[in-house]
Amino acid sequence: MQTPDLKDMQVVVVGLGLTGKSCVSFLQDQGANVIGMDRNAVELPSGIQTLSGDFNLEVLLNADLVVLSPGVNPHGTEIQNAVKAGVEVIGDVELFARFNTLPVIAITGSNGKSTVTCLVTEMLNCAGMKAQMGGNIGTPVLDLLQCDAEYLVLELSSFQLELLHSLKPVCATILNVSEDHIDRHLTFMAYADAKKRVFQNAKHTIANRDDVKTWPQNYLPKYSFGFSNSPVGISWDAQTKTILADGEEFISAQQCALQGLHNILNIQAAIACVLPLGVKQPAIARAVSLFTGLPHRFQLVSDHQNVRWINDSKATNIGATIAALQSLKNRGSSKLILIAGGDGKKANFTELQPMLLSDVDLLITLGKDGREIASLKPGSIEVADLLEAVTFANNIVESGDIVLLSPACASLDMFDNYQHRGEVFKQSVLEVTQ
């Protein structure tokens, strides 16, 4: 593919957060005439025109190209009017794809994306294949174009995928699909369709065998993972607690630093992504023994007096909370207290109800949609903030019990982001248990 020439093109970057600023810098380096646009006032390097407030339709209509940051809805009125007028509107990953020459492993899904992206990167590096990761995690994709790497491992969100056409991944996977971001995509089908764009032009398409919503058009079991039995692909022997590759023992759960059944699926997915690239079992075994997980993702923050306090603040949708609850199913007689709630992004919480009734001993809720979640389980407790939730839980727990923060909601109704929510939870736990 011929590298596009952006010199002297009039390009408008809409949305000037971390990704937008990366786009501005890249476009400047390419010689484009850049205008920045954001709802809020944002400072850019001198010489770049920056517009704040409502998006300026006249400026958009005069552009040769519009680049949207992932947080900007492409279905907004001003953007759609520009599209109808024939202005090309793309995202940062599409811009990246038009310039990139390195092989890409592309990873998406409702839950587990960051963990699998990190695992795949670790596996490649353990195999001596120099890999860098970015996208929806860490480094913006355009900043990866000049990096010293043999492979790029990209975590991609549905927001990044909905404007993507040109990426040609060597491996692409959808880990799972559960209801999320309905406030942006409007329907579950539109959300699922956005995820499936990751398979366009991919050499190897890797699916969750047990979730048909993750399957590419040409599903091949040999490029699959899951808990169900399969003579090909990556599977699981529950009796021996071993991950299998094509029916043969490959990695035991004891070799893996990550805990929980949901992480077994994440490890399986990472293995399925690297085997087609020639990564061997010893490198994979080393990687899974080294990688202990990411903050705010099913993270043990305290076991004071034999009570486990688990920070799963990254569980910003229903599917993530269900996965966390499933990982604690075999806890014996220990009580499980779940802290949930926040901004549900117009999700339907009824999918969560069966596990709330069967697996949760006490539900504590907070936030914008806390009352709606509380209505799903009799005897639930509604509180004003996380400190009150942690204090209440601490007053009733006994040795062996588990307190799980797994909100099933976004955090922006009460916190800066899910990281902030997780840190407040950790600080609250330390405060009440000391």
Residues carrying an active site annotation: 113, 136, 181
Nearest to 151 by CA among 129, 168, 126: 129
Calculate the CA dihedral of residues 272, 278, 282, 283 and round it to 10 degrees: -80
CA distance 15 to 68: 6
| C-alpha count within 13 angstroms, C-beta hemisphere, residue 95 | 32
Around Cβ 387, how many Cβ atoms within 10 Å?
A: 16
* CA angle at 6 for the pair 4 and 12, rounded to the nearest 5°: 125
CA distance 343 to 91: 26
* CA angle at 361 for the pair 356 and 367, rounded to the nearest 5°: 60
CA distance from start to end of the chain: 61
Residue position matching structure tokens 């040609």:
168
CA distance 12 to 69: 11
Token output for 99? 């310039």
| Residue 101, C-beta contacts closer than 8 angstroms, at least 6 positions apart | none
**Alpha-carbon 55 to chain mean position:** 28
Query: What's the DSSP call for residue 232?
Result: S
Pair 416, 395: CB distance under 8 Å: no
**Alpha-carbon 275 to chain mean position:** 22
Beta strand pairing call for 171-174 and 204-208: parallel
Coil vs helix vs strand at 320: helix
CA distance 299 to 293: 8
CA distance 307 to 145: 46
173 membership: H or E segment, kind and range: strand 171-174
Beta strand pairing call for 49-52 and 33-38: parallel
